[in-house]
Amino acid sequence: MKEHTRVFYEKGRYGGWPANHGIWKWGNEILISFIDAEHSGKWENTHSINRTGSRYKRFARSLDGGKTWAIETPDIKQIDKGSVYTAGHDNKPDISVLKEFSGSIDFTAPGFCLYFAQSGTSNTHMSWWCWSDDKGHTWFGPYTVPNLGQPSINTRTDYHILNKDEILVFLTCSKSNGLEGRVLCAKLHSDGRFEFISFIGGEPEGFEIMPATQRRKDGTWVCLVRIKRYDCGMLRYLIGQYESSDTKEWKYVMDVTEPREDKAGNPPALVAMKNGAWCLCYGNRAVPYGIRCKFSHDEGRTWGDEKIIRDDAACWDLGYVRMVENEAGQLVAGYYYNFEEAGECTIEVTIFDEAL
């Protein structure tokens, strides 16, 4: 089964990039974060948005496992001043609102959630984090993310709660040349300290960014990353897989999706389901444009054939999926989408299962 729902659309506005922000769930209560930007009506480098126009952080909340949604505007201080999260643009983040964390957090508190965000993807940009103890209704922060010895941290939200005092976080940082990017593993402690643990893979010629991570029952960590790779001089995009038994040493084990020539690739969303299956979901920026998925029945050791969730988009500007499983055992995928080239982008949700 599959069921598509329109979550956000406004004339003259552009909804974008849930994978730049996050998704959280508490039973059948699900929260998705996205950006509501001013639509330009034309292509401007990569996205049809007005780069100097108004931009807001929004949330979509469902109380029934993803069937219906309400839009919320959080009381969070704007930092990026219209940042499009794209290298090569003068985003001018308002760093005056950033602060250092003080105090202590119980990461296992019932209403806890956390998100990371960034002003861009090169060494001229910066990242911050906020947290909530009431399921994202109110937020504390923004707090500075330290560079951890790197040119800059340009991160999105991918974390796993280890205990009340520690979270394992997977971050993207700039490469040594200042360009996007590579993935690292770190810990966030309850007193706000960040601890570098390891790089995930060597420094790539292209990029390896935007991780999505799960842990097998035997303790092995599986990290999927969005890759830009040069194959015999040809530029290709794909999702690749790293594994580690201890988060200190990582091994590249496979290409999970076929390397493709498309518009810059798309990040993975990864869910370990209650029935033991794993699902990977991602946008496809090559014809036919749309949303795809794969399933694994051995915790990511092998992956099944690619399945089409939908292929009715008008152009490549889509995807950035974030996904959870609801209490009925259905997958709930949130992403941005389009139905007209250079038109307004919507936020969509698809509820589906393996049968599709």
Given a cut of 60, is residue 61 above it in pLDDT?
yes
Q: How far apart are CA 18 and CA 156, in angstroms?
A: 10
Q: How far apart are CA 198 and CA 279, in angstroms?
A: 26
- pLDDT, one tens digit per residue, over 293-314 is 999 999 999 999 999 999 999 9
- pLDDT, one tens digit per residue, over 109-168 is 999 999 998 776 666 667 889 999 999 999 998 898 999 999 888 888 999 999 999 999
Given a cut of 70, is residue 58 above it in pLDDT?
yes
- pLDDT, one tens digit per residue, over 107-118 is 999 999 999 987
- pLDDT, one tens digit per residue, over 179-206 is 889 999 999 999 999 999 999 999 999 9
Least confident of 20-34, 72-86, 142-156: 72-86
pTM, to two decimals = 0.94
Q: How far apart are CA 351 and CA 293, in angstroms?
A: 13
CA distances from 138 to 135, 141, 309 (A): 8, 10, 34
What are the structure tokens assigned to 26, written together?
């508490």
CATH code for the domain in which residue 49 is found = 2.120.10.10
Given a cut of 90, is residue 89 above it in pLDDT?
no
| Mean pLDDT value across residues 318-331 | 98
**Per-residue pLDDT at 120:** 62
CA distances from 23 to 30, 63, 107, 136, 252 (A): 7, 14, 16, 10, 27
- Domain region containing 54: 2-352
**Per-residue pLDDT at 85:** 36
Q: How far apart are CA 257 and CA 236, in angstroms?
A: 11
Number of folded domains that form the chain: 1
**Per-residue pLDDT at 231:** 87
Using 50, 70 and 90 to split pLDDT, how confident is the model at 93? low
- Rounded-to-5 percentages of helix, strand, coil across the chain: 0, 50, 50
**Per-residue pLDDT at 56:** 85
